[in-house]
Amino acid sequence: MHKHLPITVLTVLFICVLAAAPHAVSAQEQEAQKAVLVTGASSGIGRKITEVLAANGHFVYAGARKDKDLAELNKMDNVEAVRLDVTVQDDIDAAVARITEAGRGLHGVVNNAGVGVFSPMNETPEADIDFVFDVNIYGPYRINKAFTPLLAENKGRTTTIGSIAGFISGRRSGTYSMSKFAIEAYTDALAAELAESGVLVSVIEPGGFKSKIREKVVLHAMGKTLDQAGDLTAEEQEQLNKMKERNESLKEPDEVAEAALHALFAEKPKPRYMVAPDAEEAEATIRAALTRVAQLNADQPYSYTLEQLNNMLAELVAEQ
């Protein structure tokens, strides 16, 4: 059995991956601005993507669920808040109607809304798995299904915020990783199916950037939401404070927003964008991918030699 692939494979693979209310819009405005829908735009990665797109002159339909968040988003230039819960079909249908009636068309979608649950697999209630899958998997499925006709009219783009957890899984991360592994398969299939329509599909896989999802995970484990954070016991508040401190130590998701900008507007967007905050997380992700290659190749009738694997990878890199 091969315990490690040679450093040449790792080096080559690194080169490969590191690479207000609606109103009628005039034809001139449509030409000047392209519209993008961002789900889960109230905070974290979604908020940062909304800010970067708007700052670059694009028009953002910013999806959020709460009145307070909708009001804050509506204060931003080039942004129109849209009430949107990706688990509620009525919200999605209303958003489609609203964006269609506005007359801007729709160039892109960023499926960012996401949740997490972290607990041992044999102790995770099915309701928690359903909760994560409903947002992280069915959410992008519902949104893309609903908005593809608008995207196809403009030969637009759709991208989903996955995670390096779509390649790495371990103790207590199974439910979240399952959802992100599924997004990898989903976006590959969708890309092939939408190719003839001219709609380009990509997935962005961030590592550990600053995001309120961590606070939500802690509160979910306590049976509470962010709105109920003031009702915590002293012990629960201590747990939440520790997570807040950890989250504050992480990098702002600027690089994730830049990847989204590229995926939406570059002439040749990439199918995948791994966005790690540091070399350690990048290497862990690459090693996880390489481990599967080694495990698939080992001790089976059609195994490749290490030289053949290197040649194969070199060919794939040249195609990127």
Nearest to 136 by CA among 158, 156, 160, 155: 160
In 10 A of CB 208, how many CB atoms?
Answer: 20
The verdict on whether 48 is a catalytic residue reads no
Query: Which tokens is 234 given?
Result: 């002293």
Q: Which of 34, 48, 61, 180 is catalytic?
A: 180
The residue behind tokens 């009430």 is 83
Query: Which tokens is 166 given?
Result: 């779509």
The verdict on whether 224 is a catalytic residue reads no
Q: Give the integer Cα–Cα distance in Å for 86 and 139.
A: 5
Phi and psi at residue 273, in whole multiples of 5°?
Answer: -130, 100
Residues in the chain, total: 320
Q: Give the integer Cα–Cα distance in Å for 270 and 253.
A: 19
Contacts of 34 (CB under 8 A, 6+ apart): 58, 59, 105, 107, 108, 154, 265
Give the neighbor-by-neighbor strand order of the sheet with 35-38: 79-83, 59-64, 35-38, 108-111, 157-161, 200-206, 272-275
Q: Which of 176, 210, 216, 273 is catalytic?
A: 176
Active-site amino acid positions: 176, 180
